[in-house]
Structure 1
């Protein structure tokens, strides 16, 4: 899995956007059944002409489809839409269906993995109590937990749990949907590092924290600039200034359903 992913949530020009992302070097695409663009993602990969094994593709199952039999069916439907033999990572999109159905869904995804339809199974928007229910059920840990994560919403207890249990942390909304681009700390650090975009500062913070950020954009210029984050490094002082911006859950800009019972 590449350490920088390309998100396609609410992207209404998915195929050209993914084509541009592949062109500038992205090799990790994050989709979902709820986004209704799995087929468009796959079309872009085929049009670009890259070998399927060279692109890491994620999709997710939303809570309305949770349950053992419905999950097995949903996996097959995703593969049919994408015309792929397998998906690299399949996530439980959110925990809204309740403990019983969450566990049924997770078991079904593990079964689909064992059948070769999925390479890896993970979760999204899971709080510590959701992750603990998997452990208490005697099941293997998910490989990934994808959560909203940026300096303004650091979700520290979840991150610490994941890191202690070897669960990769993926960060959605890593550039805060551009809502804080004029924050003084971002403006200062962007200027310090050669007039970078605020998004580049935020993505660099995420990488240096050990997360896998998933920026999204339909703008070719932004798609490229979001990928150009490997030629500079934030200092410990820079990182400390960003760490100090945490507003915990009050800093979230998305649904962030990690407290769902």
Structure 2
């Protein structure tokens, strides 16, 4: 059975995949800025709807990105926990009102403002995550490198990013293969084994993985050197495509979302307080 990988390109016949890498990069940046500059719940809900619609258009299934979703959810829960532990009154300070729902202990009061603030924090993550996953999963690494070069970044940097993105699934597949080989030899990595025993046995996987990775990097480096990579200041890209209507539509949508977010933030402030 093939290893399941994360942070890798998923090829689909969709409108999102057919857009140029420059379009997807520009939309990702515009959308991210639009979600970062505001805590207005209504704006965030609107951005969340656009984010889900874009994910739906990409034809990428939830089960294919489930690991990243679960990882984000765990990180989000820990983030909210530490926000409350370090400053349980941050919401009341930001919104300017205080409605205590219940008292826990010492200085820890559960207020409606704090819960609403943490809700908006969570919403910001849920807004940005689908688009971030979509950008990684729907953009061919070579196409991404070409898009970076098109906005003025050195092609050497773009090519390094493309190699890194291509290399991540390879490392995961190598880890899976080495892990199965070691378990077939009697190296126990299951949950029934003690933590320190599993940690010790993991060394039997990491060392071959590191050696394999170093050998692959050396092979890539030699191949690029033989081809004269980096000799010229510019290079051409096979993956660069001309802009089409869908690209202009996506860029226009990104600009509109950013303008709306800025306008609402300037006119009504960054924080929408429903408790006034």
TM-score by shorter chain over 0.5:
no
Q: Which has the larger radius of gyration?
A: 2
Q: TM-score, normalised by structure 1?
A: 0.25
Higher share of residues assigned strand: 1
Structure with the larger RCO, 1 or 2 (CA within 8 Å, 6+ apart): 2
**Higher relative helix content:** 2
State the TM-score, normalizing by the size of structure 2.
Answer: 0.24
